Amino acid sequence: MTVHLHEEDLPIGVLAPGPVAVDTETMGLNTHRDRLCLVQISDGGGDEHLVRFGAGSDFAAPNLRAVLADPERLKLYHFARFDLAAVRHYLGVVAAPVYCTKIASRLIRTYTDRHGLKELVRELLGIEISKQQQSSDWGAGELSEAQKEYAASDVRYLHQMRTILNERLVRENRMALAQSCFDFLPARAELDLAGWPEVDIFAHM
């Protein structure tokens, strides 16, 4: 496994065809306020690519945008709602079609309330990952090796977990329901960006 760091865009031809795992790192949790600093992407072949955006970036990134906007490429996320909003706001594309391991976990692992990436990787793959760098400064001029490893680990296991989660979703006859949730996620991200992040517009009151 090799972690590749790129500045401002993804090089052409570094990804194999097919689904890609995607994650983002930002300066905070307010998408409008806290800029996008890093996009992680992996085709599942063993390498992870990190695209860093500096302060003042114009987020042009034509190669990365083309991959993310490609309707023929499935994008795998863990908590897709946040990443979709960040990509839409800063890169100007809807990074769909979507698969979210967190939603799949919530639909199938109903025996637990622990659906974080760390817990999911531990149970499904028997691998321990560190979340120590989660709250670090992603806007720093130089990323530490620990930050790069943390960022890479966020996309490293999504392909494998999708396979296992899908087997369970099919077994429990919840695959169609999961797909409906995945299909709605771009709209959910748009609602977040448009000012309805916490309001359930489907509620009676």
How many CB atoms are closer than 10 A to CB 28?
11
Region 118-133: mean pLDDT is 88
The rounded distance, in Å, linking the Cα atoms of 73 and 64 is 12
The rounded distance, in Å, linking the Cα atoms of 28 and 9 is 21
pLDDT in tens, 41-96: 999 999 999 999 999 999 999 999 999 999 999 999 999 999 999 999 999 999 99
Tell me what percent of the chain is helix, strand and coil, each rounded to the nearest 5.
40, 15, 45
Does residue 134 have a pLDDT over 70?
no
Does residue 161 have a pLDDT over 70?
yes
What is the pLDDT at residue 130?
Answer: 76
* Residue 152 contacts residue 48 (beta carbons within 8 Å): yes
CATH architecture under which domain 2-133+142-194 falls: 2-Layer Sandwich (3.30)
What is the pLDDT at residue 135?
Answer: 73
- The region of weakest confidence among 3-7, 77-81, 201-205 is 201-205
Alpha carbon 31 to its chain centroid, in Å, reads: 14
- The region of weakest confidence among 121-125, 191-195, 196-200 is 196-200
Region 127-143: mean pLDDT is 84
What is the pLDDT at residue 167?
Answer: 98
- In order of 11, 12, 98, the CA distances from 204 in angstroms are 48, 49, 28
Domain ranges for the chain, please list them: 2-133+142-194
Q: Which of 69, 66, 63 is nearest to 84 (CA)?
A: 69
Q: Does the predicted TM-score (pTM) go above 0.85?
A: yes
